[in-house]
Structure formats: structure tokens, C-alpha cells
Amino acid sequence: MGKPGALEAEGMGQPVSDELGAHVSAAGGVQRAPARAEEIASTVLQLFTKQPSRWAEPVISVEERDAFRAERGRACIATAVAHDSYLINLSSPDPALWERSLACFTGEISRAQALGLDFVVTHPGNATDGDPTSGIARNAEGVERALAEVTDGPVLLLELTAGSGTSVGGTFENLAAILGRLSPEAQSRVGFCFDTCHAYSAGYDLVRDYAGVFQAFDDVLGLDRLRLFHMNDSKGALGSKRDRHEHIGQGTLGAAPFRRLMEDERFLGVPKILETPKDDDPVAADLKNLHLLRSFRA
């Protein structure tokens, strides 16, 4: 499929100077990710440093580290983010799973440090015993221990979740409780990732109460700790608890909240990463969504 003609004026294949990007594939090695960000005219990227649905813990070789850093510089990548494994559950009451999750989580931060990434995004996990308070405590302990193990590493971003099942990350208050249990040193390396789909599915009405949602975020967490957006429309209704992403403007959120986000001066410098469907042509799909977001500032 050819690239959309409406994007030609933006300079196809050449990164643009804004804070927009997408999750890109690291197939063939993490060093290939920056070139894939170039394909979508982006200087912002998110990637997995390992297969997200496997426990296997790869080690970044010196050659991979140097190649990624060189490619990042060549491609002028301003912000590089890792998303951690889907298997990690630092809120688990199962001691064996918790220890395995901690080892995996520490490995994620270690690889991100080696690559020189800016952020690691993590889902807070699930308190499968039905006790969210204990789950929050376990999560905070895992975060504290991992950050103590990997010093001078990337900033860790706790991601707001859709709040399904026994999730402990589906409210601003949950995230604040995790942060509040950390030492001051650990707190200095922790921020938040705001996923628009997750927020809407969790019950935060970005469509009818955009201002109120971000006022609540500021009151509970502080906008200064909002370090990253995941820009996703939603297949689920408000408060549905469904984590199902849709193309920008084609879901239940619609275009209006994204226009407001792009125009909001408070967030002009905050990186914004697509996790929208890739369809049959990932490059074309990302370009279409990015073009729409950029058009909101035209």
C-alpha cells in the first residue's frame, strides 16, 4: 500500500519536529527500531526490549547496545520508551509469581538502562486475592527493589489501566497510593503514563468532562508527573473496563478529546505515542493516525 498523499507535505521518510510517535517493532533486533520510527516521520518511539509474552530474559550485548545508540542518534530520536512484559504482576499475592515478576521487571529496567532509554512503562498489575490495598503494597515493594537494583536508569512510568477485574491501576488514587509508599529516592524516578483508551474505559469522561479529568489528575497525582501519553481511541464505552484500542477518531472517544489534547498548551512537550491498530500495513496505519493528530494543530 502506498503512503497517504495527504502526508507528502510533511516530508515522508523524514522525521518531523514534534512529540508524536508510535510503538514500533523491534523484530530483528532493537537497533532496527529507530529506522522504523523514521518510516512514520517520527522522532519518538516505544518498543519491547524482549518478547512481551515470554519469561525468557535476553541480555543486551555490547554490540546491540552500541548499534541501537548509534541508530538512535542517526535517526534523531528525541524520546525512546520501553513497555515492559505483559506477564509481570508485581501486585500478585503468589510469592513465586511475584519473585519471577520482580526478576523480569528488574531485567526490563536493566535493558532500558543499557540502551539509554528515557522511560519504562509498566502496568501496576492485579491483586488476584481481591485485596487491592495489599496489591498496592506489593507493587510498591517491587518498584522500590527494582529501582534500587538498577541505579541511574530510566524514569519508570506507572500506566493508568482500564480497571478491569482485580487491576490495581485503574484509578488515579491507586497510582497515588503506589507512589506514596515509595522512598523519596524512588519517587524521584517515577512518573505516570496516561492512556486515553484506558482512562475512558476506567470511567474518566474525556469526551464530556476533559477539563475535569485533568483537574482530578492534577489534584491527585500532579501534572508535573505526567510524562507520557498513549494516544488510543477506544472500542469500549465509558466505564466499560475494556482495554480495546481503536484508530484515532474511529472509536467511542471520537476526535474531539484528541484535538483538545493536541491544542492543550500544558502538554505540548509531553511525548505522545500511538498504540492503535496496525492493520495490514503498519506504516500506513501509523502515518494516517499521526497525520490526523498533527492536523489538529494546523
Q: What is the pLDDT of residues 79-132, one digit of tens each?
A: 999 999 999 999 999 999 999 999 999 999 999 999 999 999 999 999 999 999
Q: Are strands 245-246 and 233-234 parallel, antiparallel or unpaired?
A: antiparallel
How far is 244 from 250, CA to CA, in rounded Å? 12
Q: How confident is the model over 186-207, as a mean pLDDT?
A: 98
In terms of DSSP bridges, do strands 79-83 and 44-47 run parallel, antiparallel, or are they unpaired?
A: parallel
Quick check: 246 pLDDT over 50? yes
Query: What pLDDT is attached to residue 16?
Result: 66
| pLDDT above 70 (res 4) | no
pLDDT at position 298 is 72
Label residue 15 by pLDDT band (50, 70, 90).
Answer: low
pLDDT at 271 over 80: yes
Handedness of CA 193, 196, 202, 203 (dihedral sign): positive
What's the start-to-end Cα distance of the chain, in Å? 26
The boundaries of the domain holding residue 182 are 5-295
Averaged pLDDT, 216-245: 98
Gap between the Cα atoms of 68 and 31, Å rounded: 4
Domain count across the chain: 1
pLDDT > 70: percent of the chain:
94
Instruction: Compute the 3-state secondary structure of the chain and give helix, strand, coil in percent, each to the nearest 5.
Output: 45, 15, 45
Say whether 231 sits in a helix, a strand or coil.
strand
pTM (predicted TM-score): 0.93
Buried b (16+ CB within 10 A) or exposed e, 26-52: beeebbbbbebbbbbbbbbbbbbbbee
Residue carrying the nine cell digits 531485567: 107
Q: Specify the DSSP class assigned to residue 43.
A: S
Other CB atoms within 10 Å distance of the CB of residue 65: 17
> What is the model's pLDDT at position 9?
33
Give, in order, the Cα–Cα distances in Å from 271 to each of 189, 268, 280: 17, 8, 26
Output the pLDDT for position 12.
45
**pLDDT tier at 8 (50, 70, 90 boundaries)?**
very low
Domain CATH code at residue 163: 3.20.20.150
**Burial bucket for residue 130 (CB in 10 Å: 0-12, 13-18, 19+):** exposed
Give the mean model confidence (pLDDT) for residues 250-258. Answer: 98
Dihedral (Cα; 183, 177, 140, 83), 10-degree rounding = -110
Query: Cell 483508551, residue?
Result: 197
pLDDT in tens, 130-145: 999 999 999 999 999 9
**What does the pLDDT read at residue 17?**
63
Question: Average pLDDT of the chain?
Answer: 94
